[in-house]
Amino acid sequence: MKIKFLGTAAAEAFPAMFCDCEQCVKARKLGGKNIRTRSQTLIDDELFIDYPSDTYYHIIKHKINLLDIKSVLITHIHDDHFYPNDLNWMARGFSCPPSDWHGITVYGSRDIEQPLADIAANSQGYLRCESNPVFKPFKVGDYVVTALKATHGTENPYIYVIEKENKTLFYAQDTGLLPEETWEYLKDSGFYFDAVVMDCTAGTTDIAYSAHMGLPRNIKTRDMLFEYGLADENTKFILNHFSHNGGDAVYDDFSPIAEKNGFIASFEGLKIEI
């Protein structure tokens, strides 16, 4: 399974749009890996995790053909992860997809149903929407996906376990420390994670609010994954979803700290293969 990071920031992007803080000034000056857009990850050139307004920028920058994308998993409906308006443009009149195009199926919690209803109805069948409950594996093409409950500020926030050909990715953002129900499910799941992507909105700091993580919570979560046999020293741990409000958040500052603690700091264009 190939995992490519396209958008790695929190909602306001990094540098943030209207921000003159020390971290944003530094990120603007350094450029490169220090520039972060809204959250999106590509799996095997065919599956997106999340669909933010920066999708258009991502497909241009990384030379992705949207007609190759078969499925989108939505973690939650905050608009840095879910910008349904841009799915209107797949309909004829706005675009000319080939007549035999497979279209795109968007998967998520029931929160995506209402925002996608009209868009799907007007898409000439190209856009399909499928909601699934937590803790019940479902098929997405060649993948088996299980949605788990996250700790986040929307009604039904999901994190995902994605399995294909004996490889398993645990994609855990946006979330704070995982809820008890999710640990209960994971403990008896028999999963072994080859890679874990974790929320690191707070950078090196331990934040007071519950909806995100920083390095101390990442370490605590990794310890628990180890304890339950869900991961081990061969698992790749990637930290993602950075905010300028986090400690040492600029990539050039954070990356060596992450490495010292056994984590990989994401950047846009990072490819991980499991």
* # of chain residues touching Zn ion (CB under 5 A): 8
**Would you give the distance in Å from CA 45 to the centre of its chain?**
15
Residue 15 preceded by cis peptide, ω within 30: yes
* Residue 69 φ/ψ, nearest 5 degrees: -80, 125
Residue 79 binds Zn ion (CB under 5 A)? no
Q: Which stretch binds Zn ion (CB under 5 A): 41-49, 65-73, 143-151, 244-252?
A: 244-252
Q: What is the DSSP letter of 115?
A: H
Residue 19 binds Zn ion (CB under 5 A)? yes
d(Cα 252, Cα 241) in Å, to the nearest integer?
15
**Beta pairing, strands 167-172 & 158-164:** antiparallel
Member of 6, 9, 24, 112 binding Zn ion (CB under 5 A): 24
Looking only at residues 135 through 194 of this chain, which bind Zn ion when binding is defined by CB under 5 A? Answer: 174
- CB 247, CB 21: distance < 8 Å: no
d(Cα 218, Cα 203) in Å, to the nearest integer?
10
Closer to Zn ion by Cβ: residue 175 or 235 = 175
Q: How far is the CB of 13 from Zn ion (least distance, A)?
A: 10
Q: Which stretch binds Zn ion (CB under 5 A): 17-25, 60-68, 98-106, 215-223?
A: 17-25
Member of 21, 68, 223, 273 binding Zn ion (CB under 5 A): 21
Residues that bind Zn ion (CB under 5 A): 16, 19, 21, 24, 78, 80, 174, 244
